[in-house]
Amino acid sequence: MASITIRNLEDDIKQRLRVRAAQHGRSMEEEVREILRREMGGGAPARNLAAAIRARIAPFGGVDLAIPLREPMRDPPRFAQE
């Protein structure tokens, strides 16, 4: 297993971590491991927004939209010159 060292951790965060570890009956080191396991482990990789939307609406089925025919561009306006 690998190990890491965290430097320059704010005193407030260290104190809160110590209290949280004590509430759970663990050492600070084990509490950090548990936090990392919960946050990093077993999660699916992030998807892009389009894939997330597609996955959410896929169960409802698709919708065929009529695409209107393209029309030729209009001539640009002509301003009267004096």
Q: Which domain holds residue 20?
A: 11-57
Inside any domain, residue 20 = yes
Q: Tell me if 31 sits within 8 A of 24, measured CB to CB.
A: yes
Inside any domain, residue 16 = yes
d(CA 81, CA 34): 77
Task: Dump pLDDT digits (tens) for 2-53.
Answer: 889 999 999 999 999 999 999 999 999 999 999 998 888 766 666 789 888 8
Inside any domain, residue 27 = yes
d(CA 43, CA 46): 9
pTM for this entry: 0.49
> What Rg value do the Cα atoms of the chain yield, rounded?
29
Q: Tell me if 56 sits within 8 A of 67, measured CB to CB.
A: no
Inside any domain, residue 28 = yes
Inside any domain, residue 5 = no
Q: How many domains does the chain have?
A: 1
Inside any domain, residue 82 = no
Inside any domain, residue 18 = yes
Inside any domain, residue 26 = yes
